[in-house]
Amino acid sequence: MSKENFVQKYYKHAKKAERKTGVPALFALAQSALESGWGKHSPGNMLFGMKAGSGQNYGGWTGEEQLVATIEYSSKPSVNFPFIFPGYPVMSTVGKWKYKIKDYFRAYPTPLHAFLDWAGLLSKSSRYQQAMRNKGDPYRFAEEVAQAGYATAPGYADKVKGVMNDIATIIKTKGTKGNPWKVILPVAILVVGTGLIIYGVVQYRKETIK
């Protein structure tokens, strides 16, 4: 799936989750792109890599689980996981222990369920309330989520903000599904004798959210 196709496919779900929870759609799309490799690795609509954890439903999880391989980082060399691949953990170049593991992750019937569950977690957790106070600024929101310890990957904040830039560029230049750039012709028509003079061309983007 191309980056553009990813945005076209999941934008509407991110916007619905934003309206319900307040979590910025731009950040949600970027996080899901990071977690899923722009939609290439999302078994069971697992777009955010949410683990089964305590089993709490934050707004979209129906209780389905799946065992999935992933990479984790920790400051400790003795963390327990359901399965650790032979040869791990190893010390990474950034000074943390790198684990290749299998763990139980959430599965969802639709992408929207994934967006709602993940956004519900962020909006309801006391851990991310500083981020929620900055929900009007997606980039500041990303920094606050990172500061709260959302991800174990080194340089997470810079990575997610870089993806946000990519997505913002796609939305600006290509539009989103159901929200195309439209050209309206003409703006004004003046009839002079038997001829027509067209005054102006206005290009605008009209966003409609269903």
* Domain covering 3-205: architecture: Orthogonal Bundle (1.10)
What residue ranges do the domains of the chain occupy? 3-205
Say what the pTM is.
0.77
What is the per-residue pLDDT for 131? 97
Phi, psi of 21 (to 5 degrees): -115, -20
What is the per-residue pLDDT for 177? 64
Q: For residues 31 and 50, what is the distance between their CA atoms, to the nearest angstrom?
A: 11
pLDDT along the chain (210 residues), means of 10: 95 97 98 95 94 91 94 93 96 93 96 98 96 97 94 87 97 72 31 36 37
Contact status, residue 33 vs residue 111, Cβ threshold 8 Å: no
